[in-house]
Structure 1
Amino acid sequence: MGFPADFLWGGATAANQIEGAWDVDGKGPSTADVLTAGIRGVKRRRITDGVEPGEFYPSHTAIDHFHRYAEDIALFAEMGFNVYRFSIAWSRIFPKGDETEPNEAGLAFYDRLLDELDKHHITPLVTISHFETPLGLQRYGSWENRQVADFYVRYARTLLERYRGRVRHWLTFNEINVMSTNPWNAGGIDSEDEAVRMRAAYHQFLASARTVRLAHEIDPDNQVGMMFCGHFAYPASPDPADVIGTMEFMQKMLFYCDVQCRGAYPRYKLRELEREGIKLPVRDGDAEILRAGTVDFISYSYYMTHVTGQKTRGILRGLNGLDTGYSNPHIKRSDWGWGIDPMGLRYSLNLLYDRYQLPVMVVENGLGAVDTLQADGTVHDPYRIDYLRRHLREMRKAIDVDGVPVMGYTSWGPIDLVAASTGEMSKRYGFIYVDVDDAGQGTFKRYRKDSFYWYRRVIASNGAWLGDEDAGYADAADAKAAGDGLQQ
């Protein structure tokens, strides 16, 4: 019992949060490249009108993975990864988004990255669009314009044909439901108008469905999944009004999954759109496109749960830390105020599988925290090990006790990277510490944290060993004694 023999263990990143080299080899600017840095509790990230001289944009350098990918992948392999989820930057392949011919230098970079993964026997899981819409598509109105779906499908076809046989696991859009919470990240939409967001989401659904069908035509072995930003909520009380309020909150999130997994808009969403006077830009044949392009599996990010009810705040803002107007007194919170709820992971796995009867994969889960690099090059992060251990235990229960077919687990992010919510480096997730600060300054050297050695042992045991929390957190000393040591 426990994790399946073919379970996929690894980590997940996004191009705009690790690659840097934002204008190298013909790459064009993306929506991420005009997002400034924020400061926790002080200022929010800002969207600028183009790249402003003298402004700091974290994505422009990030952790310089573009030049250090071989070193980073070797570290992933040392942990035992058999899968690595990463995104391909659309504007590295089509710099403005609408070109008819791709940028060969951009494609060649991902050829080299895939070569490294192949060398280390790591399966690639590629996100086609991860908060990286080409900025050049703003002149079309971005995803509010149906033509952008055509540009996306051209881009997707280019990837599917170029990497045929090398990549067989794909995700069409990262956290597609973020169109309802942070539409700039989701697709370059800078509007709080629900009608604008819903038209943009409709075009992304069409693009995804067309891509799923295309992927199966190009290579029948391709498996294409959707990716849901894991918003899961508990009612504030047993009051039926709070239960109904929570149902309505979840419907605003889960309808994205309904469309991609079932191939049609659910009736509750169509009624809601009708009540709000929102008309979708439906054309003849669209229903058939959605029906024919349902996904093969469902993947999602899981960081927290919410509390909602009859007075849930109506407008949804932010990436993951939504302010619903309620709080949960039964769980602890991270340094960034995100609720820590391991049992909620088991609950969410069951909810998604029961609803869609599709294989499930957790492709983001992790703890953003302040880490300290010691003078001897060590980083002690027992809080991260504790967080991950507790979540993996609940995942194991979902598999063992509940029978949920979980495909794999890719932690976010296995190496420190730029936080999407704030643009900070100090909000660190990785098993690997990167010496870069919030201003983009540092040596960029990589250091193994204690969690690096812990996760390596977890993978080696296929999750049978998660560590004994009463016996201490790290087995880094044992690993170093075996001759591993810290990277100098």
Structure 2
Amino acid sequence: MPEKYFKCHVRYCFWHDKMNFILILLVNSCLGHHYSNKRFPKDFMFGVATSAYQIEGAWNEDGKSESIWDYALHKYPNLTVDYTNGDVACDSYHKVAADVAILKELGVQHYRFSIPWTRILPRGFQSEINMKAVIHYQNFIKKLKKNGIEPMVTLYHWDLPQSLQNLGGFLNDSLPEWFVHYAKVCFHFFGSDVKYWITFNEPVHICLGGYGYGYFAPNIYGEALWIYRCIYNVLLAHARTWHLYDEEFRLIQKGKLAMSLNNDVYIPASNKETDIEAADRLLQFMLGIFANPLYVGDFPEIVKFRVAERSKAEGRNQSRLPELTQEEIAYIKGTSDFFAFNVYTAYKVAGLDYEPPITNPPTISGDQGGTIFQPPYWENTTASFIKVVPWTGRYIFKWIKHLYKNPEIFVTENGYPTHGNELDDRRIFYIKNYLNDILNSIYEDNITFLGYTVWSLMDNFQWNFGYTNQFGLYAVDFKSPNKIRTPRPSAGFYRRIIESRCLVNNCVD
């Protein structure tokens, strides 16, 4: 049914430019009856998200040191499509009151944001704590709490101190020790007011983007040579942080801690066994490689097998994927208090009728052994990598439930990009339909969700896309001195859903 459901919408996309209003009516008449009339549970949390580098600006103020993104974009401005950076961004570091005001206006229950390592520990190490930054975030968090907004703090959203990158960054096996010291400072100063902690945001991009394909800072191109060492260090850093919190802070602070995993949803291109196996294999390589150690213990068997076999064929004495010891397996397993998950789009996966060739350097696609694509009839957005396929959300939620014993899921990012004066109606459609999939997952699949988080509160610096993609419920005028925030129609739409806890006019309890 989902594929048919989506094609029903796409039939009218061709006429969008000429018949915009008629299109919306046709789409709604075609899809409207699919919306659930159930209410979201009373304890289900609605929120929005941002990250420090993308909104704060003030890149070298109040004792903050240089991050890997500061360094990369100052040295190589062409890394972004519009030659911009996050030096000023939304100027949120100076606009705390304004940002809290629009959060309150939205009526959200939680706000996910990040605290930069570079502000708290400018040299990267706990030997020097920047108290000016500590006081800044203490005041911000208290403002949120005063307005009834639960802070969800991300400790690492991609802005590693450049001083630590100079020591090898995530490839240095001291990374877990560096990170747990930073986390301990944050728990100590902010933990009494924070009940939800995220250690790392989208670790697949930290490793795949930073040390594999090199599309994200620190922009190291190593294909499949170094990404697994990065993944190993991320897992150990997360586990050490969870154990620290559990042993020293949880009893008093009573918070929860997780790592925000992300994944494009990979669905089989057909009902052929090779396609089904390939789709599952890619999910294991991209999502399971983190989730399996956290929930089951050890890396997925198919990942271990394929990387070991291809490493051997390359003439290596050991697998490029580090082997977890029994002590490490036991130490990492169970270190997630909820399943934090970011989801935006999907791909279809076709299996291969041959084994990918051995290359130097080894390739990530070779390890994974599958071909991904997005059908032309899937609706486009202004971001080439995001197609509008909300019906695939339920597919991945059920996959998570089945493999990891039905954990509590918290959707920590989900959002839609626009550009310029593009209509906001598709963002509304996108959010509404992902929320519909969550409702169906709750009431039909018996999956527990803690909450949902829109990316993003406001337009911001979107990494390699600079300011060319806008994800905000609030538009930001980046040309204005005050970086004026203006609510889009989607902000009002989201506020009404939060108030009613319902997607349609007449809901049943």
TM-score for the superposition, normalised by structure 2? 0.80
In structure 1, the partner of 2:12 is none
Q: Which residue of 2 aligns with 1:431?
A: 473
Deviations 1:371-427 (A, max 9, x none): 43xxxxxx962221122112211211111221110110110001111113412x231
SS in 2 for 1:60: coil
Residues in 2 aligned to 1:168 and 1:188: alpha-carbon distance in whole angstroms: 31
Partner of 1:280: 322
What is the correspondence of 1:233-244 to structure 2 with a 5 Å cutoff?
233-244=266-277
Structure 1 residue identity aligned to 2:345: M
Matched residue, 1:454: 493
Tell me which amino acid in the other structure corresponds to 2:130.
N
From 181, 186, 190, the equivalent of 1:159 is 186
1:46-66 Cα deviation digits (max 9, x unpaired):
9xxxxxxxx955211111000
Among 51, 60, 71, the alignment partner of 1:23 is: 60
State how far apart, in whole Å, the 2-side matches of 1:282 and 1:12 are. Answer: 33
Aligned to 2:381: 334
Shift of 1:289: 2.4
**Distance in structure 1 (CA, Å) of the matches to 2:323 and 2:445:** 41
Alpha carbons 1:336, 1:368 under 8 Å: kept: yes
For 2:416, the equivalent position in structure 1 comes to 367
Do 1:434 and 1:447's aligned partners in 2 also have CA atoms closer than 8 Å? yes
Q: CA deviation at 1:153?
A: 0.3
Identity across matched positions, percent: 27
Deviation at residue 181 of structure 1 after TM alignment: 3.0
Query: What is the match of residue 244 of structure 2?
Result: 214
1:128 Cα deviation after fit: 0.9
Give the deviation of 1:118 after TM superposition: 1.1
Q: CA RMSD in A?
A: 2.6
Native 8 Å contact 1:434 1:446 kept in 2: yes
Q: Report SS of the residue matched to 2:373.
A: coil
Aligned length: 438
User: Does structure 1 conserve the Cα–Cα contact (< 8 Å) formed by 2:44 and 2:450?
Assistant: yes
Higher helix share: 2
Corresponding residue for residue 127 of structure 1: 154
2:307 matches 1:266: no
CA pair 329-380 structure 1, distance change in 2 beyond 3 A: closer
Task: Point out the more displaced range, 175-184 or 111-120.
Answer: 175-184
Alignment match, 1:389: 432
Deviates more, 1:264-273 or 1:134-143: 264-273
- Please name the residue that 1:101 is paired with: 128
Does 2:233 correspond to 1:203? Answer: yes
Q: Please, which runs of 5 or more residues in structure 1 have no aligned partner? A: 38-42, 47-54, 318-322, 373-378, 469-488
**Residue 33 in structure 1 maps to residue 66 in structure 2:** no
Go from structure 1 to structure 2 and tell me whether the alpha carbon gap of 1:94 and 1:466 turns closer, same or farther (over 3 Å shift). farther
In structure 2, C-alpha distance between the alignment counterparts of 1:272 and 1:96, rounded to whole Å: 39
Secondary structure of the residue that 1:182 maps to in structure 2?
A: helix
Distance in 1 (CA, whole Å) between partners of 2:423 and 2:88 is 26
Tell whether the 8 Å contact from 1:11 to 1:83 is kept in structure 2 after alignment. yes
* CA shift in 2, pair 1:365/1:45, >3 Å: same
Q: Is the 8 A contact 2:53 2:159 kept in 1?
A: yes
Tell me, yes or no, if the aligned pair for 1:306 and 1:324 is still in contact at 8 Å: no
Distance in 2 (alpha carbons) for counterparts of 1:393 and 1:363: 16
> For residues 8 and 126 of structure 1, do their structure 2 counterparts lie closer, same or farther at Cα, with a shift above 3 Å needed?
same
Cα contact 1:311–1:325 (8 A) shared by 2: no
Amino acid at match of 2:484: K
Flag the 1:216–1:90 CA change in 2: closer, same or farther, 3 A. same
What residue number does 1:482 align with? none
Q: Taking structure 1 as reference, are residues 419 and 408 closer, same or farther at Cα in structure 2, changes over 3 Å only?
A: same
**Is 1:90 paired with 2:117?**
yes
Asked whether the 8 Å contact 2:106–2:495 carries over to 1, the reply is yes
What is the distance in 2 between the residues matched to 1:288 and 1:237? Answer: 38
Q: Distance in 2 between matches of 1:459 and 1:19?
A: 26
Q: Give the aligned residue type for 2:233.
A: H
1:336 and 1:429 map into 2 onto residues whose CA distance is 10
Q: Please tell me whether the aligned partners of residues 244 and 309 of structure 1 are also in contact (alpha carbons under 8 angstroms).
A: no
1:180 Cα deviation from its structure 2 partner: 4.9
Matches within 5 A, 1:301-380: 301-311=342-352, 315=363, 325-337=372-384, 338-356=386-404, 357-372=406-421
Deviation at 1:301, TM superposition (A): 1.1
SS of equivalent residue, structure 1 residue 195: coil
| Cα deviation code 1:161-202 (max 9, x no counterpart) | 112221111111101122453125878461324231111110
**Residue 245 of structure 1 contacts residue 308 of structure 1 at CA under 8 Å; is this kept in 2?**
yes
Letter in 2 for 1:204: V
Give 1:228's aligned residue.
Answer: 261
User: Retained in 1: the 8 A contact 2:266–2:346?
Assistant: yes
Amino acid at match of 2:383: W
Asked whether the equivalents of residues 189 and 197 of structure 1 are also in contact (C-alpha less than 8 Å), the reply is no
In the TM superposition, what whole-angstrom CA distance separates every residue of 1:276-305 from its partner, at most 9, and x where no partner exists? 2315276784334223x5201111111100
Aligned position for 1:472: none
Q: 1:282 to 1:187 in 2, by over 3 A?
A: farther
> Offset of 1:268 from its aligned partner?
2.4
DSSP 3-state at the match of 1:163: helix
Contact between 2:170 and 2:234, CA under 8 Å: does it hold in 1? yes
Match of 2:172 in 1: 145
TM-score by length of 1: 0.83
Instruction: Give the whole-Å Cα distance in 1 for the aligned partners of 2:192 and 2:112.
Output: 17
1:230–1:32: structure 2 CA closer, same or farther, 3 Å change rule? same
1:408 aligns with 2:451: yes
CA shift, 1:16, in A, is: 0.7
SS, match of residue 299 in structure 1: strand
The C-alpha deviation readout for 1:19-48, integer Å capped at 9, x for no partner, is: 1111111111112223439xxxxx7539xx
CA deviation vs aligned residue, 1:343-391 (integer Å, no higher than 9, x gap): 111222222122212100111111110243xxxxxx9622211221122
Change (3 A) 1:197 1:29: same
How far apart are 1:466 and its partner, in Å?
A: 4.7
Choose the corresponding residue for 2:462, options 419, 432, 435.
Answer: 419
What's the CA shift for 1:265? Answer: 2.2
Question: 2 CA distance for matches of 1:21 and 1:392?
Answer: 35
Tell me: CA distance 1:236–1:394, structure 2 relative to 1, closer, same or farther (3 Å). same
Partners of 1:142 and 1:187 within 8 A in 2: no
Cα separation, 2, equivalents of 1:155 and 1:225? 16
